[in-house]
Amino acid sequence: METVNSPRRYSSPLRTGQAATTRLQVLDAAWQLFTTQGYVATTVTQVAVAAGVSVDTLYATVGRKPVILREVVESAISGTGNAVPAEERDYVIRVRQASGAAMKIRIYADAVAAMSPRTAPVFIALRDAAHTDAECASLETEISFRRASNMLLFAADLRDTGELRTDVSDQFIADVVWATAGAEHYTQLVIARGWTSQQFGDYLAEVWTRMFSAPVVS
């Protein structure tokens, strides 16, 4: 009796590497186009041309236009080519490991300053896209909720140091961090007023420290 062998899955490290490179090219091209001419004005064909790939390759590698925007957003947040859960990000780990509220605030403020040049423009693009695209609107809501939840965890971590004011709640702290670390605030100060990203980080660290820290008893 003849035995019929199941087809073997073929996996080539070279093909995998090429696909990863293509994906990064697509995401980089999409970031550039979405943040300069807007999501609505950008076509999939334009992204493909800018990335140096065919439209079919773009669809096979990343997906439809809303999926491309999601991947661009996630990559900008993580600073890598893929989404990284908040608890696994380097700066979050360093914040959790740091001792003292001032040091935790400094680490997080520096992280916001470092990531904002890549995240703020794409968050603005996402906000604009949400006005006309239901999938983008859903993504904006999801990202906003995730940010708010992460800020609440940050506030709780600060609270555990025993160095915060007792007359402000964790929710208040989370809301202030959510707003001041947002794309709009960064854009107002860095893009409109000409601040450097470092100045923005210093500003966040000072504002948060002054607002949240308990008075030092002499």
Same domain, 43 and 127: no
**Residue-wise pLDDT tens digits, 105-114:** 999 999 999 9
Same domain, 22 and 113: no
CATH number (domain holding residue 23): 1.10.10
pTM equals 0.85
CATH number (domain holding residue 143): 1.10.357
C-alpha closest to that of 77 among 198, 6, 163, 181: 181
Domain around 67: 14-71
Same domain, 48 and 97: no
**Residue-wise pLDDT tens digits, 83-110:** 788 888 999 999 999 999 999 999 999 9
Q: Is residue 202 part of a domain?
A: yes
How many domains does the chain divide into? Answer: 2
**Residue-wise pLDDT tens digits, 52-93:** 999 999 999 999 999 999 999 999 988 877 778 888 899 999
